[in-house]
Amino acid sequence: MASMSFLEFFHKGGKKTFRPKKKFEPGTLRYSLHKQAVASLGSGINLRDVVKLPPGEDLMDWIAVHVVDFFNRINLIYGTVCDHCTEDTCPRMSGGHKYEYLWADGVKYKKPVPLPAPRYIALLMDWIESQINNEAIFPTKNDIPFPKQFIPTCKKILARLFRVFVHVYIHHFDRLLTIGAEAHCNTCYKHFYYFVNHFDLVSQKEFEPLTELTRRICETKPSNELSFK
């Protein structure tokens, strides 16, 4: 199992993607960065080093590539448990008894409201997709600069994506074990954790629901990682 790449594992046996995968256009700078990042992930390089900005590359492009990649990968992970995440089994978007996440988008949901986990995550993924597809926030042409709201938007996206990790680990860990996805999910989590911490994109307070998990799998001595292609 350890030799199988992340994408091979999550596509094996028809495991579904919760949302259609977002792709980079071939020939663009971000497509090249995406391929470079994927190649590094599959090379056995320690994840702490993989997240660092490559020499000569633009930080905003590097962050944009990773935001989209994390969106895709976390969609795949949630896709493996979404049949078990229903309004009956998960009536609140929570991470155990202590943590509950309320939804607000400033448009339809102007004030934070409690929602069943599958509804919350569906709205979250729709919202992220709308941000990624918004040329005013995520410009795709090299001659168009990133706007001032780009980093704040990325921070909000990544913080909210982390909540999917929280819910999956705390409420659906048995499902990950059943399908043998634990190691692959852990590797994705480590990559996410190292990236957002390296660039200070998610507040440490957000990680509190997974404090023990983070200490166990992210704050240990480096070891060989699973292939992440």
pLDDT tens digits for 180-202?
989 889 999 999 999 999 999 99
- What pLDDT score does 224 carry? 47
DSSP bridge pairs for 89: none
Q: Is 172 annotated as a binding residue?
A: yes
- What pLDDT score does 175 carry? 92
Instruction: Report residue 207 as tokens.
Output: 């990680």
- What pLDDT score does 45 carry? 62
Q: Which residues contact 20 (CB under 8 A, 6 or more apart)?
A: none
Rounded to an integer, the average pLDDT of 123-143 is 90
Q: Is 11 annotated as a binding residue?
A: no
- What pLDDT score does 143 carry? 78
Give Dmax (Cα) for the chain. Answer: 50
Q: Is 90 annotated as a binding residue?
A: yes
Query: Where on the phi/psi map is residue 96: left (φ > 0), alpha (ψ -120 to 50), or beta?
Result: left
Tell me the whole-structure pTM to 2 decimals: 0.82
Percent of the chain with pLDDT over 70: 76
Rounded to an integer, the average pLDDT of 103-125 is 95
- What pLDDT score does 228 carry? 44
* Minimum mean pLDDT range among 41-50, 82-91, 98-107: 41-50
Nearest-angstrom CA–CA distance, 35 and 38: 5
Q: What are the structural domain ranges in the chain?
A: 6-218
H or E element: which one contains 138? Answer: none
- What pLDDT score does 26 carry? 54
What does 69-123 look like in DSSP terms, one character per residue? HHHHHHHHHHHTTGGG--TTT-SS-EETTTEE--B--SSS--S-B---HHHHHHH
Instruction: Please state which CATH class domain 6-218 belongs to.
Output: mainly alpha
Q: Is 85 annotated as a binding residue?
A: yes
